[in-house]
Structure 1
């Protein structure tokens, strides 16, 4: 099936053979359709939570999609005859056993074993808890993965239609009460945006727990700089199927500019109108922006946002967060009047690297209406960030093709300052001897001695110690650690959509390239992803700019900036400041009297 021809997008899609099921380490079990009862009190993982009730498990249930493709799911449900709502987990990672479930179990990242039963699949809810509270959980292998038929697809409307069909199939089952929800982390969250936009009649709610909405702008082509290492080496390399897989890397090489193919991989957020429980994290290197944007753009009137300070795999397993989600599902899948609507529409974590975070601060909207815009000008004369535009023109210079070269600008903060919202660098830039520039920037804080201050996104003392031991040049592994927001831009892709852009949130079109003449100085908008960062009095706020990633360090299996990402950089980069060159950082600052 060529999904994009089917959608009349006019783009031929390139496929490659899927990684075979017999690949060493794939661990994909054969189909074994069977119904069993998992007994109350039985244990299914070392040190795991005993089952709280009897659970009926229907293994390898066949589901036929509209084009005749057969996919397979496992259904966990209470053993009573009562009809129950169902939570759909749609996964490319394997509904049972497999590489992901073996190697990335949540307990490996600090979740106490007794908080989980072992029935849960990677990045998903635990059926043991939900069955005990009167829900079914259906875990379904996406098209083209494991034993499910068809070709593996990446995001897009076609994948949303597959989920639409599955939602409606579940709603028709005699044991189902007619209402279906979705939940899950990362890829399991991303697919919820595309599914909900198809508006399956029986989809009653979604719970996307950190998920991009735009593959091009947030994953493989952020800022116009192609980066496919995470997609190809850390995700696609460990997905297995019997047929073909959509070849995103080759598609990006063939179609480096925005076209119908990439547009199809941006979720149609305005078409989503179901109740939504949305979780985001400042620390995630690819999920942060899209998750927050989705909260703003979906049409749902019943939507809530919680911004966590923890790794997503830890956060989704936390018993308190699970209970919070159950109140939401109880309201919209069971119709229980439990005052869920009184829950604050937004609950923020304010990160204080090196200190103590503020958790679940109640807010009424995102971005915060009370933010105040502060402009800090770059001054290379003394390497500072100044509240006043320097009168004299000056130049900050670094070697764009030197992985050790960068420029920094600092400001010592004289009172506690909360930065919450979207940040942007407005820069005047010049390539001394090249026709393009790839710019990378990060904003972070240091102590008074200049040491970077870290946020570690796990609770376990053992995991914290392990993450801190991985510090490289003052930076921690992306996803596990966080110092502050980052951004990137290929200068030839600087063209903006004037209707969607604001001073703090420039929106790049990516429809063409404007190469430079060597020595030509141009203004650019380099967006940094949103954050909530508390800078204490006496600490230093730092802006670092380079021709290579300067934020957190990428380590498998987490996404993050590839330190070896190919760039177009050659020779010196110049940033012009002062006088007619108003290079500056735009910051959203929350007034001290209104920080909750």
Structure 2
């Protein structure tokens, strides 16, 4: 226990050194209720003001407008295909008395309709994050949608045309909604439950509510559906994690606040915002706070249309895990080969999702139940990807798990080398890594979960932080860029070796899941076995092509890897929300400031890595070190 306390204290001190707060700090610890209503202390701080340029917020103004067919939200966007009734800033009172504001888009009639809710804190109109901020709009043309949609959410113009109501809340604390802005967890799940039950009683509702959207809006679905609102009839999670600690914040036990900090800086609130970046670097074990950030996906029994990919660095693992753990009798999985935003707004995929919701929210007998349960993409850089291959399950039942052993000649081989050997690298060298390759002697498909088993030693440190990656190389040994994005594709794993303890109850033969409830620091000369989970991948290798395994010292990612949210300047009408191109209208331009930060002195930076000295990999003989690959027969 003394050893554990020393480790946690050292982590906290490291945080304090790398992220000192000034005398003008806005950081405070506040009571926070977790699932069992127990109160714990959680850091909060100030984010963007709701009137900040970067926030691209909207005035609080309760009104009902009729958006006319053929009108435009912005130049270049798709014209509205029908009249839409727009109810702006409708107040919803949650069970604790907090009032949040939602926007409603509905058909211009007096009928009862199903509704689809898109839950996030990004802004229910333009907001601090937008596709225009992403290079090339991630491949989504401006005229693919109407511009009425909130970020990562369904386009009201498409759905209202087909008789749906779109509900866009500003979640607790976001923009003008009351309270402090929070990240997922049981409080957000209860808020979503309350909003769904409110929606089901409205005069325009047929009593059935669905949920849809990417990323944050998918994570929200896992949490809210896990609370089992009676009127939530179907969900469509389109890439989103289920376990915030294990899958993003402290993956492999390594605190990584870089991406969460970049996202935090886009949030706007009248009040405070849960300082999750600070929780990441101060709460480095899976404690009560992080347990509350695991969605109760095992409670989900309603129909679900789940969409995943192999290439999302935040959501890949959680999407597959969510699909496998939900208890729905009616669930479908589709794995695409592009990116979440591009895939979501593709016309054929919107139509596919419409068939799903038509069946479960409208009761249409449209044959959706005959849709294949699993449709996979198999990536094949340098050749043609396989898309929508029909399967029965994931991972595939016909998988053969095979071992490739590490060898001192930088190869992966099919049997363990006889002699005890070592491969090492220095942390401060130009190339702090070791790479091993395997050449396929026939066409081979590797689809599913990979696992790396190593025997490691740290010289000059009491811990190691590792990043491992698997990628496809050409027959000449060169990385092969993806045809669609131009990027190379890797499947990755991470590990802070002191948190190597495996949770035997949650793990499987092909996937180790770590406990993260304590740390075992390394002693001088100690050699320890570790299992590193590598996220799912579907990849075709042709005869002569190579599989590359790289083991390297972990380095924190760059904030520059996150899109410059808030940078795009977006022009919209000053009045009436949409406009007729034949009539003059005054426009206003919002955004254009991606460097604006609510509390600059309180920014959280990545703590210093624990890597020092030299990493030694023990292989062969008594030290079997191998990569487990899922070969499809």
Counterpart for residue 570 of structure 2: none
Among 570, 590, 593, which residue is 2:632 paired with? 590
- Per-residue Cα deviation, 1:77-111 (whole angstroms, up to 9, x for no partner): 11011110000111211001223237437972221
In the TM superposition, what are the counterparts of 1:99-114 in structure 2 within 5 Å? 99-101=128-130, 103-104=132-133, 108-114=137-143
Counterpart for residue 399 of structure 1: 426
Match status 1:577 vs 2:619? yes
Tell me the distance in 2 between the aligned counterparts of 1:221 and 1:413: 34
Counterpart for residue 249 of structure 2: 220
Match status 1:142 vs 2:171? yes
Counterpart for residue 483 of structure 1: 489
Match status 1:320 vs 2:348? yes
**TM-aligned CA deviation for residue 454 of structure 1:** 2.2
Counterpart for residue 155 of structure 2: 126
When residues 403 and 194 of structure 1 are mapped into structure 2, their CA distance, relative to the original with a 3 A threshold, is farther
When residues 431 and 554 of structure 1 are mapped into structure 2, their CA distance, relative to the original with a 3 A threshold, is farther
**Deviates further, 352-361 or 487-496:** 352-361
Tell me the distance in 1 between the aligned counterparts of 2:83 and 2:492: 48
Among 553, 574, 580, which residue is 1:547 paired with? 553
Among 504, 528, 532, which residue is 1:522 paired with? 528
**TM-aligned CA deviation for residue 5 of structure 1:** 5.9
Tell me the distance in 2 between the aligned counterparts of 1:579 and 1:203: 56
Tell me the distance in 2 between the aligned counterparts of 1:360 and 1:394: 44
Match status 1:25 vs 2:54? yes
Tell me the distance in 1 between the aligned counterparts of 2:333 and 2:104: 29
When residues 425 and 454 of structure 1 are mapped into structure 2, their CA distance, relative to the original with a 3 A threshold, is same
**TM-aligned CA deviation for residue 139 of structure 1:** 0.7
RMSD: 2.1
Among 423, 433, 436, which residue is 1:409 paired with? 436
**TM-aligned CA deviation for residue 6 of structure 1:** 7.5
Tell me the distance in 1 between the aligned counterparts of 2:261 and 2:559: 18
Residues 441 and 551, structure 1, Cα contact 8 Å, conserved in 2: no
Residues 400 and 570, structure 1, Cα contact 8 Å, conserved in 2: yes
- Per-residue Cα deviation, 1:135-184 (whole angstroms, up to 9, x for no partner): 01011111101111111111101100000000011100011111000000
In the TM superposition, what are the counterparts of 1:47-58 in structure 2 within 5 Å? 47-58=76-87
Counterpart for residue 415 of structure 2: 388
Tell me the distance in 1 between the aligned counterparts of 2:42 and 2:421: 49
Among 166, 179, 188, which residue is 2:195 paired with? 166
Residues 62 and 90, structure 2, Cα contact 8 Å, conserved in 1: yes
- Per-residue Cα deviation, 1:233-277 (whole angstroms, up to 9, x for no partner): 2x1001000011111122233321111110010101111111111
Counterpart for residue 286 of structure 1: 314
**TM-aligned CA deviation for residue 553 of structure 1:** 11
Residues 433 and 572, structure 1, Cα contact 8 Å, conserved in 2: yes
Task: With the length of structure 1 as denominator, give the TM-score of the two structures.
Answer: 0.92
Among 226, 232, 249, which residue is 1:203 paired with? 232
**TM-aligned CA deviation for residue 2 of structure 1:** 3.5
Residues 485 and 551, structure 1, Cα contact 8 Å, conserved in 2: no
Tell me the distance in 2 between the aligned counterparts of 1:552 and 1:97: 26
| Higher RCO, Cα 8 Å, sep 6+ | 2
Query: Where does the alignment leave 5 or more consecutive residues of structure 1 unmatched?
Result: 459-463, 469-480, 592-596
Task: With the length of structure 2 as denominator, give the TM-score of the two structures.
Answer: 0.86
Tell me the distance in 1 between the aligned counterparts of 2:560 and 2:395: 28
**TM-aligned CA deviation for residue 547 of structure 1:** 0.5
Residues 94 and 101, structure 1, Cα contact 8 Å, conserved in 2: no
Tell me the distance in 2 between the aligned counterparts of 1:576 and 1:243: 53
Tell me the distance in 1 between the aligned counterparts of 2:33 and 2:73: 42
**TM-aligned CA deviation for residue 482 of structure 1:** 4.4
When residues 530 and 551 of structure 1 are mapped into structure 2, their CA distance, relative to the original with a 3 A threshold, is farther
Among 449, 452, 469, which residue is 1:442 paired with? 469
Counterpart for residue 477 of structure 1: none
1:11 match: secondary structure: strand
**TM-aligned CA deviation for residue 38 of structure 1:** 1.0
When residues 102 and 208 of structure 1 are mapped into structure 2, their CA distance, relative to the original with a 3 A threshold, is closer
When residues 107 and 174 of structure 1 are mapped into structure 2, their CA distance, relative to the original with a 3 A threshold, is farther
Residues 134 and 564, structure 2, Cα contact 8 Å, conserved in 1: no
